[in-house]
């Protein structure tokens, strides 16, 4: 298998950033920031998706001119395929079209108390080139940020997983409601998605400070009118409910703002960006969604996220804490392949089954393609190792048939060989690679293999 990353790669499909107040400590507020990014794993370039890890964060003071505080990076803590849901006569049902991968990054901050608060920002390019309502989307980046006020606060969190598909010509109802742990009042509205990063600087270090520029919507679209409907789509500012009847097939960028109010003052806004695909979806037999297949480490705990049913039954019960809820927790002490079936009953009484496979491996590792073709055609031009699980690459070396080293990198971001040594194209043939990394158990590991250079 060979992979490629162009200078820019349209795979970004939205995201959101939230945070949790942990404690006060000697004049500091301690927070955990959670960034969720959505990646197009059907049309996106696999190497571009891999390059999202680690994520880069910028921390700025919360008022103009937004003085820089620090830059940080974080590797993702969880990765899962988001169930693809749409409305059907049997409630929300899974469909096969599309693939969205959700990666979550966690970062801890100890913030010195101040009067302005702080802004945390993440930026990445580029958006899905197939978006209908954005001008030149393949050249547009994304900014996600959160405002941490000077007073202790835990941000609102959206209640429901994202819905990516709605049928054309039929009423839809999408719930963007959120919950606030502090009991703050919440209001909702459409908001503009934000530019950030560029095709020439796809992953800024550090991300840039506020203020941020709105994306450019195409004619007839706007932040408050993001999709084509038979009548203007409705958004309830009190409940966060988005309703309408879509009338044009396409892929639409939709951005929602949830505002937090305390004592009549807005103290934070949580944004969620999603891609909403309007499709011609024929009636089909009801089927719940068990979620995407998983690869986990032995000893790891995972919470499942089934969807599309009112009642659930998981079987077998092995390693699960509850077999009658959509999100049981599984603890897998040993390596192996485990198969689970969920039986779902919809709110209309329809029944169906779905299967999920859990591959439990003893330790995280890397996958390295066995061939690549660096001929400048934009296809398979680079050799890049791909992490399986949470692995930290420390050394990647490539040798020719004479044993001479022709490439070396000490981190995943730079581990991409273009088939050259000191600017000169290398001969076709078999090369030997060695890769050192730290696995999820903090063990140093060395793996070796061969790769064939083809032109």
For residue range 131-140, list pLDDT tens digits in order. Answer: 899 998 888 8
| In contact, 177 and 156? CB cutoff 8 Å | no
Closest CA to 306 of 68, 75, 83, 40: 83
DSSP state of 246: B
How far is residue 343's CA from residue 243's CA, in Å, rounded to a whole number? Answer: 29
Query: What is this structure's pTM?
Result: 0.61
Of the ranges 17-26, 163-172, 309-318, 409-418, which one carries the lowest mean pLDDT score?
163-172
Residue 96: predicted pLDDT: 46
Which domains are assigned to the chain? 12-279 (no CATH), 294-361 (2.60.40.10), 365-453 (2.60.40.10)
The predicted pLDDT at position 348 comes to 56
pLDDT value, residue 388: 77
Q: What is the mean pLDDT of residues 63-87?
A: 85
pLDDT per residue as tens digits for the range 201-219: 889 999 999 999 999 999 8
Higher pLDDT, residue 86 or 78: 78
Percent share of the chain, pLDDT over 90: 59
Mean pLDDT of 110-137: 91
Torsional class of 108: left (φ above 0), alpha (ψ -120 to 50), beta (otherwise): beta
Mean pLDDT of 373-392: 87
Render 24-56 in DSSP notation, one character per residue: EETTEEEEEEEEEEEEETTTS-HHHHHHT-SEE
Contact predicate 416/398, CB 8 Å: no
Contact between 424 and 392 (Cβ < 8 Å): no
Highest mean pLDDT among 172-176, 257-261, 280-284: 257-261
Residues 212 and 223: their CA atoms lie apart, in Å, by 15
Instruction: Give exposure, 127-163, as e/b (b: 16+ Cβ within 10 Å).
Output: bbbebbbbeebbbbbbbbbbbbbbeebbbbbbeeebb
Instruction: Name the E strands within 67-127.
Output: 68-74, 76-82, 85-88, 91-94, 100-112, 118-125
């Amino acid at each position: 298998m060979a992979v490629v990353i162009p200078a820019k790669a349209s795979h970004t499909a939205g995201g959101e950033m939230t945070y949790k107040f942990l404690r006060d400590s000697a004049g500091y507020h301690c927070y955990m920031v959670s960034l969720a990014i959505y990646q197009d794993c059907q049309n996106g370039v696999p190497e571009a998706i891999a390059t999202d890890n680690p994520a880069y964060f910028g921390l700025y003071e919360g008022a103009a001119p937004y003085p820089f505080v620090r830059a940080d990076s974080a590797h993702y803590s969880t990765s899962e395929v988001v169930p693809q849901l749409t409305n059907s006569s049997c409630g929300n049902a899974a469909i096969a079209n599309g693939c969205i991968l959700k990666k979550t990054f966690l970062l801890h901050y100890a913030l010195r108390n101040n009067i302005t608060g702080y802004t945390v920002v993440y930026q990445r390019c580029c958006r899905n080139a197939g978006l209908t309502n954005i001008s030149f989307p393949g050249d547009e980046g994304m900014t996600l940020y959160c405002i941490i006020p000077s007073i202790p606060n835990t941000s609102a969190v959206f209640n429901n997983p994202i819905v990516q598909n709605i049928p054309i010509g039929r009423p839809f109802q999408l719930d963007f409601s959120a919950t606030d742990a502090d009991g703050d009042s919440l209001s909702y509205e459409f908001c503009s998605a934000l530019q950030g990063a560029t095709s020439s600087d796809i992953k800024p270090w550090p991300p840039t400070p506020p203020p941020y520029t709105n994306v450019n919507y195409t004619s007839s679209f706007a932040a408050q009118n993001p999709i084509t409907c038979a009548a203007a789509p409705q958004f309830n500012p009190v409940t966060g409910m988005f309703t309408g009847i879509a009338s044009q097939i396409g892929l639409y960028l939709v951005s929602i703002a949830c505002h937090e109010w305390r004592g009549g003052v807005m103290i934070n806004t949580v944004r969620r960006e999603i891609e909403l695909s309007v499709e011609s979806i024929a009636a089909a037999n009801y089927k719940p969604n068990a979620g995407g297949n998983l690869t986990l480490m032995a000893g790891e705990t995972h919470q499942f996220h089934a969807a599309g049913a009112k009642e659930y039954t998981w079987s077998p019960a092995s390693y699960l804490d509850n077999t009658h809820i959509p999100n049981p927790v599984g603890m897998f002490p040993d390596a192996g392949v485990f198969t689970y079936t969920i039986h779902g009953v919809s709110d209309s009484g329809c029944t169906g089954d779905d299967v999920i496979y859990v591959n439990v491996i003893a330790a995280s590792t890397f996958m390295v393609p066995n061939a690549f073709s660096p001929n400048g055609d934009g296809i398979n031009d680079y050799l890049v190792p791909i992490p399986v699980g949470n692995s930290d690459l420390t050394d990647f070396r490539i040798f020719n048939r004479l044993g001479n080293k022709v490439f070396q990198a000490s981190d995943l971001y730079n581990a991409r060989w273009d088939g050259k040594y000191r600017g000169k194209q290398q001969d076709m043939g078999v090369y030997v690679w060695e890769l050192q990394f730290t696995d999820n158990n903090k063990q140093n590991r060395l793996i070796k293999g061969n790769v064939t250079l083809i032109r």
